[in-house]
Every structure is written in structure tokens, then in C-alpha cells.
Chain A
Amino acid sequence: MKLTVNGIEQEIFSPPLTPLLHVLRDELDVTSPKAGCQQGGCGTCTVLIDGEPRRSCLTAVAAVDGSEITTLEGLGEPEQLSPVQAAFHERYAAQCGFCTPGMVVAATALIERKGGPVERDEVLEALGGHYCRCTGYVKIVDAVMAASRGQTGAREDEPETGEEAPVMIPGSPA
């Protein structure tokens, strides 16, 4: 079996009914798709299969033999984040970060499909199967909407003086 993962063709040796998730993580060391619930319920294993977001834990590797797989690693580089990655970073849309790979991949597909600004209800529909157990949904939805509008880079509401923002609560980053 063969897969093209983030642009690189890979020969696959796992048994045919191995979940794509475990092929990515264990055979190919592509670890952004997380093994969360492993029954399709949490969304953090979501990857793009031939451009469409699907659950890698529910996908037998043999069923996608020959496909192109894109994971979070394939969307941007640490020095060159994709718009969704940048928006998540700038707008504090990741707390513990466990759900973030699936959120970013699904949001990227949504924005690509729409081809323009996405509205709140569209984000809720597209990310409806993704759990954030930190419950940081507000900032996630805001980040996706901002990314779809190209609102990434320096934020207007951040101080531009180069000084640290004042600490409102001692001992906390807020």
C-alpha cells in the first residue's frame, strides 16, 4: 500500500485494517493527529483525505490506499504558519492543545470549501463533532472566523509599544 502524506509518498506495511491514525502515528511518526477517543467521537484525529476532512481513527488504511493525506504538519511551518494556524496562535485558541490538530484541519477545509469569510453558524456546523475539553470554544470559533477574513498578523487590540501587557491578576498570564 502507498500513501502520500504531506506531499511525501510512503510505502505502508501495517495490516490492511489498521486505522489510518495508527499508521500515521506509529509507522510514519506523524504525531499531530491525536489518539483521543478512537471511536470517532472527539475529532482530534481528523486529517484531510484527498482534501476532505475525515476521521483517521475510523478509516482503515487499506480503504485509502493511494490517497493523499494532509495532517496539521502539512499545513504550515513553524516559521510560516498557515492562516488558520496563525489565527489560533494569535487569538489564544489553543489551551492544552490536544484538540487543536483536528480543529485546525477541519477549519482549514471549511475555509477552503467556502472560499471566503465563514460565519459563526458555519463554523459551529463544521466543528460540531470536535471536542475541546478545556471548553475554549469561543476563541476557537473567533480564530476560524478571523482566519477566513485574512485577519492574521499583528492584532489591533494588542499594545504596539513592545512593552508587556499589564498583569491584571498577579501570578496569572491574564
Chain B
Amino acid sequence: MPAEALVPTSAEEAARLYGDGEGVVVFAGGTILLPEISAGRLKPERALMLHKSGLDGISTDGGTIRIGAMTPVSALVGGPSELISRFAENVGDGEVRRSATVGGNLCATAGVGAQRGDLGAPLIALGARVRSTGKGGERTEPVEDFLAGDRSGRLVLEVELDAPSGKWGAETLRRRHAHSYAIANVAVASNGGGLRIGVSGVGPTAVRARAAEQSRNPDDVLRDVEPVDDAVASAEYRRKMLPVLLRRALDQLETA
């Protein structure tokens, strides 16, 4: 039985059709979902297809950058934030990035043998917020809180962040290969004296490394992050490398 496709033509209609999310599968770029559906592992009864919802596009409104949930990852490469661009360009390859979306990257769960959601690290470092709707209505919250919560009942509408003005540092550990998921991503940013650290690629969701933000000791990254074992790397290797990556990223911040 093929899925019923709901194709809203506005953000409001998308939110209404999504409702509390019960029984609705959100279909954004499709780079993760479509292979699951084609292989019969996922059989959605109702698919909310967002390609005509107008939820795409990047705008700058005063000092705030707004990135629509349906914005393709390719649009972030060379986009308004160098730090986000630096991680966006590692997602898949150019052809995948043209389909993959920002909202999808935030809602992605771990894949078979690999972690997803690389963009969480720079978005956390830049203090970005997620506007989403679903059960209980619309809300805006920090990316790290959105990721820590139950994302299954939320429809991401947009990501907003203050136009980056401070310094940043970024380190990614990955195989030099278009389709290899990252082993670990560390993003650091300072805005007005405060330091924020985001880590992704080491577990099911990106995490904010608050202890290391306070102490500035790279080893403290492991107080907030619990690396996992998967086909890309062992948890032990990730635990060894995370402090190294964070030290390098912090060095970049110093010398930027």
C-alpha cells in the first residue's frame, strides 16, 4: 500500500497537517528516508512532504540568521557562517548535499554503524536555536536542548542564530572519503568572551561540552560526551581523540 503523500504549500499548512505528529512521517530531502522506504524497512502510511512548504531559504534579519528547515545542506557551504560551512561541506558529497536538508540533519538518528547529524556541533557552538512545532504547539529552544529531547514528535521549522561575530575553531576526524561519516567533530566559538563547545559524530546526537567550556581543559570534554562504538570507529579511539581535537580547536581560537 503506497503512502499517502501530504504536500503542504505553506509553513502554516505544514504545521496543521503535522498536528501532534501521530502517524505522520516527515519527508524532507529523503536522503535517509527514501532508501529505508524503497527497501521496505519503513512503511509510512502518511508522509508529510515538505518540498513545497516554503520552509527553505536563508535570510538575515537584523543580526539574526534564519535557516529554514528545508534549506539544502549545499546552501550552507559558503553560506553566512564559515563555521557551519566548514562542517556542511563534509556531509555526503555535492549531489547528496543538494537533497539533504538542515532539518533532516537535526532530526537524523544514528545510522547503521555510523552516527549522523554533523551540523549539531557548529550549531551548538554558535548558540543556535531550533523553532519547532508539534505536541504542545510551537517552541524555540537551544539546539542542544532540542537534540536532548524527544525529537520524534517535533516538526522543525527553522534554525536561528545570532550572526557570528567572534572567533571559531573546528576539527573533524574522518576518513578522506565522500561517504564516510565523521568519526568525531568538534566546533568551538567565542562570542563576547563566552566559549561554547559542540561535539558531534561520536554518539546518537550532538552534545554541548559544558564542563570543558568552564574549565577550558580539553580532557573535560569526556565529562559531557559519551562516545559510542560503531563501524566507523571504536568508543575507545573516540575517547582518545576527542581531547586532542578539542585542544587543536581551542588553539585555533587562540591564534585566530
Residues in B with CB closer than 8 Å to A53 are 94-95, 98
A58-B96, A106-B95 are known contacts. Are A16 and B2 too (CB-CB below 8 A)? yes
Q: What's the nearest-Cβ distance from chain B to residue A42, in Å? A: 9
Q: What's the nearest-Cβ distance from chain B to residue A125, in Å? A: 8
- Range, interface on chain A: 20 to 34
Give A6-37 interface residues, CB cut-off 8 Å to B: 15-19, 22
Q: Which of B34, B44, B47 has the most CB of A within 10 A?
A: B34
User: Would B5 and A129 count as touching, CB distance under 8 A?
Assistant: no
Whole-angstrom CA separation of A39 from B33 in the bound complex? 10
Q: Kindly supply a per-residue 1/0 record for chain B positions 38-81, scoring 1 wherever the CB is within 8 Å of any chain A CB and 0 otherwise.
A: 11000010010101000000000000000000000000000000
Q: What's the nearest-Cβ distance from chain A to residue B24, in Å? A: 14
Q: Which of A19, A38, A39, A43 has the most CB of B within 10 A?
A: A39
Q: What's the nearest-Cβ distance from chain B to residue A145, in Å? A: 18
User: Would B95 and A60 count as touching, CB distance under 8 A?
Assistant: no
Partner of A62, one of B49, B93, B99, B177: B49
B30: interface (CB < 8 Å): yes
Q: What's the nearest-Cβ distance from chain B to residue A135, in Å? A: 14
B3: interface (CB < 8 Å): yes
Residues in A with CB closer than 8 Å to B95 are 43, 46, 53-55, 106, 129
A57: interface (CB < 8 Å): yes
The prevalent SS among residues of A at the interface is mixed
B37: interface (CB < 8 Å): yes
A15-B3, A40-B92, A126-B94 are known contacts. Are A60 and B179 too (CB-CB below 8 A)? no
Q: Kindly supply a per-residue 1/0 record for chain B positions 1-41, scoring 1 wherever the CB is within 8 Å of any chain A CB and 0 otherwise.
A: 01101010000000000000000000101110011011100
Whole-angstrom CA separation of A16 from B93 in the bound complex? 25
User: Would B7 and A58 count as touching, CB distance under 8 A?
Assistant: no
User: Which residue of chain B is the closest to A15 with respect to CB atoms?
Assistant: B2
A52: interface (CB < 8 Å): yes
User: Would B35 and A129 count as touching, CB distance under 8 A?
Assistant: no
User: Would A17 and B35 count as touching, CB distance under 8 A?
Assistant: no
Residues in B with CB closer than 8 Å to A125 are 94
Number of interface residues of B (CB under 8 A): 27
A60-B30, A63-B30 are known contacts. Are A17 and B47 too (CB-CB below 8 A)? yes
A59: interface (CB < 8 Å): yes
B178: interface (CB < 8 Å): yes
Q: What's the nearest-Cβ distance from chain B to residue A43, in Å? A: 7
Q: What's the nearest-Cβ distance from chain A to residue B45, in Å? A: 11
User: Would B98 and A52 count as touching, CB distance under 8 A?
Assistant: yes
A19-B34, A40-B35, A41-B179 are known contacts. Are A128 and B93 too (CB-CB below 8 A)? yes
Q: What's the nearest-Cβ distance from chain B to residue A14, in Å? A: 9
Q: What's the nearest-Cβ distance from chain A to residue B1, in Å? A: 9
Residues in B with CB closer than 8 Å to A43 are 93, 95
User: Which residue of chain B is the closest to A105 with respect to CB atoms?
Assistant: B95
User: Which residue of chain A is the closest to B50 with respect to CB atoms?
Assistant: A63
Q: Kindly supply a per-residue 1/0 record for chain A positions 106-140, scoring 1 wherever the CB is within 8 Å of any chain B CB and 0 otherwise.
A: 10000000000000000001101100000000000
User: Which residue of chain A is the closest to B29 with respect to CB atoms?
Assistant: A58
The residues of A with any CB-CB pair to B shorter than 8 Å are: 15-19, 22, 38-41, 43, 46, 52-55, 57-60, 62-64, 106, 125-126, 128-129
Please give 5 more A-B residue pairs, beta carbons under 8 A apart, in addition to A18-B2, A126-B94.
A16-B7, A17-B34, A38-B35, A40-B96, A55-B95
Sample (12) of A-B pairs whose CB atoms are under 8 Å apart: A40-B92, A43-B95, A53-B98, A54-B95, A57-B38, A58-B29, A59-B30, A62-B51, A64-B51, A106-B95, A128-B177, A129-B92
